[in-house]
Amino acid sequence: MTGLTAASGLSEIVSTVIPDLAPYEELYKDLHRHPGLSLQESYAASIATQHLRTHGYEVTTSIGGHGLIGALHNCRSSSCSETPASCSGKTLLIRAELDALPVLEQTGLAYASTVRQIDVRDGVEKPVMHACGHDMHIACGLAAAEALSKHRHVWKGTAIFLFQPNEEGGGGAQAMVEDGLYDPQRHGCKVPDVVPAQHVGGLPVGTIQTRRGAMASAADSIKITMYGSGGHAAMPHRTIDPVLLASHVVVRLQGIVAREVEPRTTAVVTVASIQAGQAENVIPSEATIKINVRTWDPETREKVLSAIRRIVQAECDASGCVRAPIFETISQFPPMSNDVEVTKKLEEGFAAHFGPQRYCSDGEAMNASDDFAYLATTVDKPYCYWRFGGIDPAAKPIHVNHSPFFAPILDTALKTGVEAMIVAALSILGRDGEYK
Binding-site residues: 132, 134, 168, 199, 402
Biggest alpha carbon–alpha carbon distance for the chain: 87
- Length of the chain, in residues: 436
**What is the phi-psi region of residue 346: left when phi exceeds 0, alpha when psi lies from -120 to 50, beta otherwise?**
alpha
**What is the phi-psi region of residue 306: left when phi exceeds 0, alpha when psi lies from -120 to 50, beta otherwise?**
alpha
Rounded to whole angstroms, the Cα distance separating 385 from 297 reads: 19
Amino acid at site 224: I
Answer whether 169's CB lies under 8 Å from 41's CB: no
Rounded to whole angstroms, the Cα distance separating 222 from 77 reads: 53
For residue 182, report the phi and psi dihedrals to the nearest 5 degrees. Answer: -100, 5
Pairing of strands 91-97, 157-164: parallel
Answer whether 327's CB lies under 8 Å from 252's CB: no
**Per-residue buried b or exposed e for 180-191, using 16+ beta carbons within 10 Å of the residue's own CB:** ebbeeeebebbe
Which amino acids are annotated as binding site for Mn(2+), given as ranges?
A: 132, 134, 168, 199, 402
Rounded to whole angstroms, the Cα distance separating 91 from 73 reads: 9
